[in-house]
């Protein structure tokens, strides 16, 4: 699979009279458009089958695409060509996230009915095809990430290893989540460890991979990984809050899906969960103290991720 060359100014200088938010909105819209375009190219080249159609359904209508935008924003700190260098890796992260969403929604997992305002994949396609979709998407994620012609072989492999590590951690986190739900008990330490594995790992790997693809050295890559982990856990805690406060239209999925689980709201209360998410956000932002304006997109992404309705 040969990826088409893209060009972009990537986070253009903010125009006179426009605020920082306006600049980030333009950056985010551009990244999402490039992500969607490349994902469409990837899907269009797949052999037609019930499995590929189900996978396509899972990948399209992908919500905020925060993970993909995160990869580009992290990469831009180290190279202004981050859009070109990190875009395939960003698509790989989105494909991996789509795989995890298909699994999360299965009757054997969360038994969800809606995802991003549409019926879940397992309600639309034959079960045998849906069972194959996560493995299909993970294989595709690696193919897209490793066939990136714009960066060195070493960087590609190093970034792919981060994605692999995140996949193993996500599996462990999902198992912890389901086992705790069955038992009906969970400590705060157990909850946060589950969230680090289940959600934080992919955020951390995506951010770190985006930085690596753009030439970050090990110390800075580790700093970006910490940022991603804290952002991901904050995101999961905010998802717990949204489950009890947001509407179906805001979330794109049925609210109160977590009533059978012990969540951050149960353990910390609404205000305590908000404070915990705020503390994690501040820890994430602190990792950028040594960087200048090149980190502005990432700083603003952290603010937005911790405020907008979750999808």
130-157: pLDDT as tens digits? 999 999 999 999 999 999 999 999 999 9
* Domain assignment present for 36: yes
114 part of a folded domain:
yes
What CATH number is associated with residue 214? 1.10.600.10
Has residue 3 been placed in a domain?
no
Residue 97 lies in a domain: yes
Task: Give the Å distances, CA to CA, from 191 to 57, 227, 288, 289.
Answer: 31, 19, 27, 29
Asked if residue 4 is part of any domain, the answer here is: no
Residue range 175-204: mean pLDDT, rounded: 86
In a domain, 310, yes or no: no
Q: Is residue 267 part of a domain?
A: yes
Tell me which of 207 and 22 has the higher pLDDT.
Answer: 207
Question: Above 70 in pLDDT, residue 181?
Answer: no
User: For residue 41, which of 4, 8, 69 has the smallest C-alpha distance?
Assistant: 4
Residue 256, phi then psi, degrees to nearest 5: 55, 40
Side-chain half-sphere CA neighbours of 91 within 13 A: 28
- From residue 310, alpha-carbon distances to 112, 169, 235 in Å are 16, 22, 8
pLDDT exceeds 60 at position 7: no
Q: How many domains does the chain have?
A: 1
**In terms of residue numbers, what domain contains 278?**
20-305
Confirm whether 281 is domain-assigned: yes
Question: What's the pLDDT tens digit per position in 230-259?
Answer: 999 999 999 999 888 755 454 455 555 555
């Amino acid at each position: 699979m040969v990826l088409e060359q893209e060009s972009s100014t990537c986070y253009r200088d903010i125009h006179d009279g426009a605020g920082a938010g306006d600049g980030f909105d333009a950056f985010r819209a551009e990244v999402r458009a490039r992500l969607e375009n490349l994902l469409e190219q990837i899907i269009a080249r797949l052999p037609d089958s019930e499995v590929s159609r189900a996978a396509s359904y899972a990948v399209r209508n992908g919500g905020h695409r925060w993970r993909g935008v995160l990869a580009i924003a992290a990469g831009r700190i180290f190279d202004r060509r981050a859009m070109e260098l990190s875009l395939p890796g960003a698509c790989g992260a989105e494909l991996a996230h789509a795989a995890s969403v298909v699994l999360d929604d299965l009757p054997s997992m969360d038994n969800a009915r809606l995802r991003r305002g549409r019926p879940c994949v397992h309600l639309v396609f034959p079960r045998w095809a849906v069972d194959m979709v996560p493995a299909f998407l993970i294989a595709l994620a690696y193919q897209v990430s490793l066939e990136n012609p714009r960066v060195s072989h070493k960087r590609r492999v190093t970034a792919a290893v981060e994605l692999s590590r995140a996949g193993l951690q996500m599996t462990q986190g999902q198992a912890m989540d389901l086992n705790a739900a069955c038992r009906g008990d969970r400590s705060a330490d157990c909850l946060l460890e589950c969230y680090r594995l289940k959600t934080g790992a992919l955020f951390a790997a995506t951010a770190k991979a985006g930085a690596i693809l753009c030439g970050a050295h090990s110390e800075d890559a580790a700093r970006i990984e910490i940022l991603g982990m804290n952002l991901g856990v904050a995101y999961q805690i905010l998802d717990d809050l949204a489950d009890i406060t947001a509407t179906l239209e805001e979330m794109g999925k049925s609210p109160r899906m977590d009533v059978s689980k012990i969540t951050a709201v149960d353990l910390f209360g609404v205000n305590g969960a908000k404070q915990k998410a705020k503390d994690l956000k501040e820890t994430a932002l602190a990792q950028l103290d040594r960087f200048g304006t090149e980190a502005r997109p990432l700083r603003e992404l952290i603010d937005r991720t911790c405020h907008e309705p979750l999808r």
